[in-house]
Amino acid sequence: MRDKKPAILLLEDGRLFRGWSFGAEGETGGEVCFNTGMTGYQEILTDPSYCGQIVTMTSPHIGNYGVNREDVESAHIQVAGFVVREETEIPSNHRSTQSLGDYLREAEIVGIQGIDTRALTRHIRDRGAMNGIISTEEADTNSLTEKLKDIPSMYGLDLVPRVTCDNSWKWDKNEFDIEPKFKVACIDYGVKWNILRLLTSHGCDVNVFPATTTAESLLDWNPDGIFLSNGPGDPAAAEYAVEMVKTVLGKKPIFGICLGHQILSLALGAKTYKLKFGHRGINHPVKNLETGTVEITSQNHGFAVDIDSLPNNVISTHLNLNDNTSEGIQCKDIPAFSVQYHPESSPGPHDSRYLFQQFMEMMEEFSQ
């Protein structure tokens, strides 16, 4: 058992939580949000969509099965900080290679445990997601309050440059021994690796391109389809991404997920807005408006597309049953569609993986 060092979490509205150091010691700040999943903490930690955020897990015991080398969604941990009720220091799983606490310390990620995460979650639900700071070094709340003023608001913040790749690269981890049928250009706004795995499993040869890739260079590569990935931050702030998508609309089939859904919607003329506390978890009900089927989905986003702002040539295909927000769109006159949630899950249910096959069929039809 490690010695417990005091730590505090201070929110920008003055709410204070006292607990113990978890992971690395130090200070970190970002938007405080919560995830309702009972599992999948390693995938959450490495999801680039969480860049700039302090993630609170609502399940009380985190780290039960440790961590391993396979269940990652990017090359390193992406969260700004991590909050749990209680760390499991001795994991039990045959795939585990180290404990969650050691994993965070190795990556120098600051966290806090021993606080009432239920109270924190209720506070965020009532007051909305807000910035916060975790510290194991500073006990003076006045000093931490001043430091909080330097943390930028998520509203209007473009975080894509912090997570996108520097140069284009080929995803060559073909675990499925499937002969590629389509060339797919993935625009990396912070792509999760399981998306690339599933595109490959459906017969795609995937090249990943930086978020600032021009339409000209993208079309020069001549893909069969363009995939717009998930990612962090305010979609309206990524104007370069929106302008690029505007240029390629109708020239190639397009499929977007999460931030990619928002960017496609903006390129088509819709608007986006910030949700009060976002959707983050693996049990969100979404209704497919075309089939009437209700899918249980994995979600991670703090912004949404304004359904009422969709242009006449765009239809709403999926709806969140918790708050009636946009979960999917499709163009009537060009081959382009997107969803707000994560059909690749990881973690989460597999109800929505049919969307990858829908993308394959769209590319096949367009090629003919």
The catalytic residue positions are: 258, 342, 344
Query: Checking phi first, is residue 188 left (phi over 0); if not, alpha (psi -120 to 50) or beta?
Result: beta
Q: Which among 194, 234, 231, 228 is positioned nearest to 40, based on CA atoms?
A: 194
The whole-angstrom separation of Cα 317 and Cα 327 is 7
The whole-angstrom separation of Cα 238 and Cα 289 is 29
Pairing, β 225-228 against β 182-188 = parallel
Where are the strands (E) in 314-361, listed by range?
314-320, 326-331, 336-339
The whole-angstrom separation of Cα 17 and Cα 14 is 10
Report whether 124 contacts 54 (CB < 8 A).
Answer: no
The whole-angstrom separation of Cα 31 and Cα 149 is 12
Q: Which among 28, 5, 51, 111 is positioned nearest to 300, based on CA atoms?
A: 51
Residue 176 burial (CB count, 10 A):
12
What burial class does residue 120 get, using C-beta atoms within 10 Å of its C-beta: 0-12 exposed, 13-18 middle, 19+ buried? buried
